[in-house]
Structure 1
Amino acid sequence: MRRHFGDDFPRLAYVDALRRDVLPPHIEVEEFYLQSGALLGAPAAQRRYASLNYTHVARALADRGLNVVVQKVAREPGDGEPTRLSLSCNTDVTLDALDALAARGQPRPLMIAEIDPSLPWLGGSAAVPADLFDVVVTPPGPHPPLFGLPRQPVGDADYAIGFHASTLVLDGGTLQIGIGALADALSHALVLRHTDNAAYRRILRDLGSPRADDPALAPFGAGLYGCSEMVNEGFRRLVQVGVVGRKVVDDLALMQRLADDSADAADRARLARDGEYLHGAFYLGSPEFYAWLRGLPDDERRAIGMRRVSAINDLDGRDEPLKRLQRRDARFFNTCMMATALGAATSDALDSGRVVSGVGGQYNFVAMAHALPGARSVLMLRATRDSGGRSTSNVVWSYGHITIPRHLRDLYVSEYGVADLRGRADEDCAIAMIAIADARFQAGLVAAARANDKLRRGFEPPARWAENTPEVLRERLAPHRAAGALPDYPLGSDFTPVEQRLAKALGWLKAHADHKLQIAVRAMTGAASEDVEALQRMQLDRPQGPQEWLQSRLLGLALRMTA
């Protein structure tokens, strides 16, 4: 933490107070999105959570009589007093909120800009006149680094999901992805499809994908247009290798000529000169990601357009015909926590009402997939989750809270394949979802479907469904892991090599927490670890007392098992 964020990285005092439920009585904090799972046990945060689509946040701010906006901004390069500032990392809500207030005849809020010298300058629609703000401040240095999201390792299930999902992407289409290990795995799969197509297809074959030999999965020619609520680490890599590169312009007539193949040389020259291949409402990534944005040549930086969230997440408005032409063959990839066998999804909260994260833009993208011709919504989920030493299924018969209703069901992807539910009858949906569930839980799902008259008499699960196990998946991917095609950190790592080894070892211990006694016996009777560097990093190279000795042996066992 010290190495990644620095010793003096500012801590948010209000978050600590929220967690301890000790906010002063004259302060109330409302949020529409929470760090995933971080505030499940925070009563104040749970009470004052507002469930909103991202595109409705500006309206909700106007409802509350917004009177102050504080916005981190980037300074335009050059000497002298800047005439423009860039909203850069957060173009999402500010301008929409000002419009919502003006439409109601409400007073304009006090606008305060804080210039951060490390924030990348992005022009175009992210640039605003400096006089939009009433106050512009540049805090004295030293300046803390930008918040850098640590990159997480990608596991076998994540990779399998990413590769199955990658088969749904059409060359020349449009891409939206979220954040986390599943998005990293999908990005890596698309990169491999483009840069080493033979290795990509070998992995698909071993995963049992029916599309492993599909000619449509050739390297990208036209490339993809990125149109995503969040621009992240995956997009950086996709741009670098040329997967994301299909440009669009905000000119309806020109986009129509491109669509009907009547564009001339002048049209194509303008597209190459003025077009943009990546649009987003905010960005978040690692220090390496921010350095990439800062170091882009001007012509490449101009191809990235940061826009209002209403422009990214919605079709509504006067520019809907333009968006429809730009967003051809769109694939909207998002993650959900659980899905029902009939196609509903829960992504933001538990059935008790406790909020895990928030709706964000997920509903917008799912609805947009049904509104755009040729578009698809893809919800990715791991087939199981482990907690308290036991595994439970993320494919369930029903759940007491849903984020996406079943009438908007479309594509689901787990590590065991793709379930296409769009327009299908309930029985077909149940069969497709059970087919991508973990084998340990299929019988229960089949029984529930039969009990509720959703399966015909005499239905028997195919024998191949029994292969849906973590052990089989691990065996299938092991050769590709060994060959280097599936690295633990496909988009780079913020951890040192020893920390990467420790992360795998500690993850192994956590995964085997339901076998404490057996693991302890193996650790105590086995040899001491030879990975002195890892033991030193955990301060267990010279254990003091029996508890540290046991911890040292447990860690040594885990290091050997994950070497």
Structure 2
Amino acid sequence: MTPRFTDPDVLADAVIDRVGRRIVLGLPLGLGKANHVVNALVARALRDPSLHLHVFTALTLEPPRPKSDLEKRFLGPIIERTLGGYPALAYAELQRRDVLPANIEVDEFFFQASTRLSAPSAQRSYISANYTHAAGYLRERGVNVVAQLVARRGDRFSLSCNTDITLDLLAARKAGEADFLLVGQVNDELPFMPGDGDLPAEAFSHLLDGPGVQFPLFAPPKEPIPDASYAIGFHAASLVPDGGTIQMGIGAISDAVAQGLIVRHREPKAFVETVERLSPTATPPICGGSFETGLYAATEMFVDCLLDLRRAGVLKREVDGAVLHGGFFLGPRAFYQALRDMPEDERARFQMQAISGINEIYGDEAARRAARVDARFVNTAMMATLLGAVISDGLDDGRVVSGVGGQYNFVAQAFALQGARSVITLPAVRGSGRKAASNILWTYAHGTIPRHLKDVVITEYGAADLRGRTDRDTIVRMLNIADSRFQPALLDEAKRAGKLEAGYVIPEAFRRNTPDRIAEALAPAKAAGLAPLLPFGSDFDAVEQGLLPVLGRLKAAQGDPAALVGYILRGVSAPAPEAGLRRLGLSSPMTLGERLLTWAVRGAAAG
């Protein structure tokens, strides 16, 4: 019988008794961490310097940390409502403060975006790794404990949200290539996912279960979709053939891609008209029309908008009885609830698998090639160069923002599979006003995806088909999707390097790449309700949703002092949005700072 525990400290003692005083602890990325087990082991190591704890993981989830007073006022209650009760991981706090003791090491191969930029120890212990290599690196380190959150049904336990690396490690253990304890912590909010991750109790060495160790799952709220993301999403949706395969990640751009696919399915004429307004030319050609055969998803991350594609009748092509094969999932609370409430035969169509089977075609190669027909692997990036290299994980000075994850795996698949394409998406610009900067660059210190693997790059201004193109033609196509504020300087750089002829001029059709043109092109779709701010539900209440455009204008004005002053001056006499000001705690401003903030909100609300 697998021993059951209700006290994580007692379980930690039992684990130490089994493996000794050197623990190499493997934790699933993201949602699947057994937080109470981890924290109990960290607490033991903090009390006992003779105990060495080496944690290997990725994507340590932490609530966002609002920076400005206005962000705190708006986000504070939302964070408490959606993420309150989630137990903080003790090692993350020590790491962020840069005070890990010598006997606790933490290695990660993927960071929650931007959370470790100012944590030197985390930057030093980062491992640049493809997702599919992480299990091998764990084995090389001598992993002897894996602690995972699990769902329970009778005496069966599901790896649920994180089959990804754990299944590969279990296969290695079965083959005699690894020897570790699998420790499960039961969480009743996790949906029980059938399939490869459905395990008997005997698969676990220890199980932690009881009311005292239940906690709400980490559930990031949905992001509103800005114009640039919508434009990118509609462009990407126009490249997906009916009967094909889709992969995408989390965030506003992925939601926009999903909404674009749904609009295309339900309103094909309006969809094509929107894409044609957004792009001066149809390059690559637009795929229009409804999804008769439908799509199949082979995606490392199972995100909630894929459920919306299923409900809309887009995600319906089945492979081995499934419309989706995924490696891990993360999403808002409504997503977890939908999976829990789903009829079992329908939930069985969403199958969680080992990451080696999702992110690679090797092993059962013939079957995977047959399944992943006309695949479109849609991934996001931070920046791209005119020569087609993609930067998704780090800064020019070497600091890591997030990680490589599975992006390289999907780019490689796009070249290995017949008819497949890698689609890299990114906004053409970051920041606003004087702080605006181009995300299309001439060169950068490093790249996540090298330029010899260039394929399709999409910004709000269009799609650039780069596969097999010369350097000269690659540059031309990238210039065509760059923001026009930065095109002249980029053009000059390319000419100085001799990569473009001295007399080359960007065609007139691509010299109106401005946010105003995108807003104009999207206006009919927005007016028709085809591009709502939050198409797939929201954790924001009605007042908060009303504040979103206001806060968006103020955020944009941070890079334009004149615009910010203009909002403040307008707000002195503008009508007060009473409900919004109450929500922000600004109904009765007391200090000069609060009065200025109130005027700014009133001015931005006035438009």
8 A contact 1:17–1:23 mirrored in 2: yes
8 A contact 1:167–1:211 mirrored in 2: no
AA paired with 2:579? E
3-state secondary structure, aligned to 1:58: helix
Match of 1:153 among 224, 236, 259: 224
Give the Cα–Cα distance (whole angstroms) in 2 for the partners of residues 198 and 213 of structure 1: 18
Match of 2:239 among 146, 154, 168: 168
Q: Aligned residue for 1:326?
A: 371
Q: Confirm or deny that 1:54 pairs with 2:131.
A: yes
Deviation at 1:104, TM superposition (A): 6.4
Q: Aligned residue for 2:294?
A: 223
Q: Aligned residue for 1:272?
A: none
Deviation at 1:480, TM superposition (A): 2.4
**Residues matched between the structures, number:** 528
Q: Confirm or deny that 1:187 pairs with 2:265.
A: no
Give the Cα–Cα distance (whole angstroms) in 2 for the partners of residues 558 and 417 of structure 1: 30
3-state secondary structure, aligned to 1:305: strand
AA paired with 1:36? A
Q: Confirm or deny that 1:92 pairs with 2:164.
A: yes
Deviation at 1:546, TM superposition (A): 2.3
Over the aligned positions, Cα root-mean-square deviation in angstroms equals 1.8
Match of 1:300 among 325, 336, 346: 346
Q: Aligned residue for 2:586?
A: 540
Following superposition of structure 1 onto structure 2, how do residues 20-169 of structure 1 map, counting pairs within 5 Å?
20-76=97-153, 78=154, 82=155, 84-100=156-172, 105-106=177-178, 108-141=179-212, 143-169=214-240
Q: Confirm or deny that 1:12 pairs with 2:89.
A: yes
Bigger drift between 502-511 and 223-232 goes to: 502-511
Deviation at 1:126, TM superposition (A): 2.0
| Contiguous gaps of at least 5 residues in structure 1 | 250-274
Closer/same/farther in 2, CA of residues 99 and 518 from structure 1, 3 Å limit: closer
Q: Aligned residue for 1:265?
A: none
Bigger drift between 290-299 and 96-105 goes to: 96-105
Deviation at 1:515, TM superposition (A): 2.8
Deviation at 1:279, TM superposition (A): 0.4
What is the identity percentage for the equivalent residue pairs of Structure 1 and Structure 2?
Answer: 47
AA paired with 1:382? P
Deviation at 1:388, TM superposition (A): 8.9
Closer/same/farther in 2, CA of residues 556 and 212 from structure 1, 3 Å limit: farther
Give the Cα–Cα distance (whole angstroms) in 2 for the partners of residues 518 and 303 of structure 1: 51
3-state secondary structure, aligned to 1:125: coil
3-state secondary structure, aligned to 2:151: strand
Closer/same/farther in 2, CA of residues 525 and 183 from structure 1, 3 Å limit: closer
Bigger drift between 383-392 and 127-136 goes to: 383-392
Following superposition of structure 1 onto structure 2, how do residues 333-412 of structure 1 map, counting pairs within 5 Å?
333-386=378-431, 389-412=434-457
Give the Cα–Cα distance (whole angstroms) in 2 for the partners of residues 388 and 63 of structure 1: 49
Deviation at 1:141, TM superposition (A): 4.6
Q: Aligned residue for 2:488?
A: 443
8 A contact 2:234–2:257 mirrored in 1: yes
AA paired with 1:14? Y
Deviations 1:106-154 (A, max 9, x none): 4x21111111111101111221222110112213258322111211010
Closer/same/farther in 2, CA of residues 115 and 209 from structure 1, 3 Å limit: farther
Give the Cα–Cα distance (whole angstroms) in 2 for the partners of residues 554 and 472 of structure 1: 26
Give the Cα–Cα distance (whole angstroms) in 1 for the partners of residues 229 and 237 of structure 2: 12
AA paired with 2:436? S
Closer/same/farther in 2, CA of residues 147 and 105 from structure 1, 3 Å limit: closer
AA paired with 2:187? D
Deviations 1:312-333 (A, max 9, x none): 000122x001100000100000
3-state secondary structure, aligned to 2:223: coil
Give the Cα–Cα distance (whole angstroms) in 2 for the partners of residues 546 and 228 of structure 1: 51
Give the Cα–Cα distance (whole angstroms) in 2 for the partners of residues 388 and 128 of structure 1: 54
AA paired with 2:437? T
AA paired with 1:2? E
AA paired with 2:131? Y
Task: List, as ranges, runs of 4+ consecutive aligned residues in structure 1 with deviation greater than 4 Å.
Answer: 101-106, 209-216
Closer/same/farther in 2, CA of residues 47 and 216 from structure 1, 3 Å limit: closer
AA paired with 1:89? C
8 A contact 1:201–1:212 mirrored in 2: no
Give the Cα–Cα distance (whole angstroms) in 1 for the partners of residues 398 and 586 of structure 2: 42
Give the Cα–Cα distance (whole angstroms) in 2 for the partners of residues 165 and 545 of structure 1: 48
TM-score for the superposition, normalised by structure 1: 0.91
8 A contact 2:187–2:215 mirrored in 1: no
Q: Aligned residue for 1:261?
A: none
Deviation at 1:74, TM superposition (A): 1.0
Q: Aligned residue for 1:287?
A: 333
Bigger drift between 380-389 and 391-400 goes to: 380-389
Deviation at 1:158, TM superposition (A): 0.3
